[in-house]
Amino acid sequence: MSMRAVGPLWRAASVLIALGVLAPVLSLAWLAFGADFSHWTHLARHVLPQAALNTALLLAGVGALVLVIGTGCAWLVTVCDFPGRRVLHWALLLPLAMPTYIVAFAYLDLLHPIGPVQGAIRWALGFDSPRQFRLPDLRSMPGAIGVLGFVLYPYVYMTARAMFMTQPAHLMEAARTLGESAAGAFFRVALPLARPALAVGVSLALLETLNDIGASEFLGIQTLTVAVYTTWITRSDLAGAAQIACAMLLVVVGLVLLERHGRRHQRFGSAQRMRAIEPRRLRGAAAWLACIAAALPVAIGFVAPAVYLLWETAKRLRLGGGISEGLLNSLGNTLALAAGVTVTTVAAGLIVAWAVRSQGSTVNRARWQARAATLGYALPGTVLAIGLLTPALGLDALLGTLLGRDGLPLMSAGIVLVVACAIRFLAMPVGGIEAGLARIPPALEQASRLLGESPAGTLRRVHLPLLRPAIAAGALLVFVDAMKELPATLLLRPANFDTLATWLYAEAARGTYEEGAIAALAIVAAGLLPVALLARNGLRERGDGLSA
């Protein structure tokens, strides 16, 4: 008898969840190719060329920047010992707490021609007017690449540092013995070994870049994502938006293949215990230069925007502006949405992970369920929104017929928005729960079944108590990401429903930075929680060598 037998209802639920994740893609294709292709002719001539070029330039620039910053900082804190290294090795993760649209929001005000930074530079140079001196406009391709690159480099930093920390010291020592310089050993030995990890980090950063809508729109870059939004909302052309979204899916497929290729080729150790690279103590000017180089990305990607948000919030409160009723309503909506998404996503993740675990000898056939269920993280929010719209409207019409009521009950209740966010973030709990299940000895499960427990009882009495840390970590990540989600929320929110992210988006469009700063500060404060979790569990110093 299989100790991992699972009921047909559980398997069916897992299959339905996997199919539910794939449904928006199928719906999107039907909507795009079932429409009049006169839309496509117009888009191909007037929208797609510039949007595709901007997207390609943005992805190339951000990819190069995050690769240089993330790899450089990871190598620096791994092989060198300098003042502040122990703080910087986790502080380099802090920009992850900053959504890209918040950093763009902050720097647009900070670097405005009559803003504090340019004003201070003109004062120092003895100029009186922006016409005498002004910095290049941040609303440009280089500005967008800089903003996104300094926020998203931690994806490369995390994967690169994990790889560098597990590279055995004798490889670098052998290269130096054979006459290689320190730089030569890095480029010829350490970097090629880390290439798969770098591919994973870069692909994740580029998926976030492709999903971005707020920063790109604030900075005046017409990307494919922005084109989807404006085609749907501004021009009321849903079919055209779906056709652009299909073009985006080609980019997504390429990035997912790059990420999967990197994960397949990652190696973090060997079967033998080996000595890790020992950090070399730097002294004098070299030590302080290393400290500045590692601190600069943190200052640009987190400290400066955070100080700006604190200053603007304090200024508004000092002037008696207080917190508006609309902002409080947006906070309540945000917490309610995040809670609903978290419960839905964690429950679905537990079903998928347990179904894969419990099918025993058929786990290879069940693996497609987990892979399909976790594809949502690669789908931009705009693509998900359009893909879900047609099925949602069909279900709303069916419910209206059955209940004898007019209206859109699913859309107006926010259920479609919850489903979209759950699909996008489902990979987080699935991955964590699968890892937690893999650490539970099969003997515990076998003992429970021999004592007469059903599979559901074994899950409830044995696995769930042991999975609490993994479930809690996944729930925290989902909750915070749901609070920050902008593209899907903009497109699928019910009427008169604002979250902190959409409130900030509207305030930035109106140029009212003080009110928007309070919403941004609340989002960043929530974003610090998963960063602290990553810093605690993922980047601990390893002083005990390497092991398999």
For residue 540, being part of any structural domain is answered with no
Determine the straight-line distance between the first and last CA of the chain, rounded to whole angstroms: 33
For residue 443, being part of any structural domain is answered with yes
- Tell me the angle at which helices 325-358 and 8-33 cross, rounded to the nearest 10 degrees: 120
For residue 497, being part of any structural domain is answered with yes
Task: Identify the pLDDT of residue 7.
Answer: 62
Domain tally, the chain? 1
For residue 80, being part of any structural domain is answered with no
For residue 88, being part of any structural domain is answered with no
For residue 270, being part of any structural domain is answered with no
Task: Identify the pLDDT of residue 270.
Answer: 47
State CA 99 to chain mean position distance. 9
Task: Identify the pLDDT of residue 195.
Answer: 84
With H, G, I as helix, E, B as strand and everything else as coil, classify residue 441: coil
**What is the domain extent for residue 339?**
1-25+323-510
Q: Which residues of the chain have pLDDT under 50?
A: 1-4, 268-272, 361, 540-548
What token pair was written down for 265? Answer: 């080729």
Task: Identify the pLDDT of residue 51.
Answer: 93
What are the DSSP calls for 318-373, one per residue? Answer: HTT----HHHHHHHHHHHHHHHHHHHHHHHHHHHHHHHHHHTGGGHHHHHHHHHHH
- How many angstroms separate the CA atoms of 170 and 423, rounded? 45
Read off the amino acid at residue 315.
Answer: K
Task: State the Rg of the chain over Cα.
Answer: 25
SS (H, E, C) 139-192: CCHHHHHHHHHHHHCHHHHHHHHHHHHCCEHHHHHHHHHCCCCHHHHHHHHHHH
Task: Identify the pLDDT of residue 1.
Answer: 38
Other beta carbons within 10 angstroms of residue 259's beta carbon come to 20
For residue 516, being part of any structural domain is answered with no
Task: Identify the pLDDT of residue 364.
Answer: 59
Q: What is the dihedral of CA 34, 39, 45, 49, to 10 degrees?
A: -60
For residue 72, being part of any structural domain is answered with no
In the 8-state DSSP scheme, what is residue 272?
Answer: S
- Domain CATH for 504: 1.10.3720.10
Return the residue matching tokens 């190719």: 33
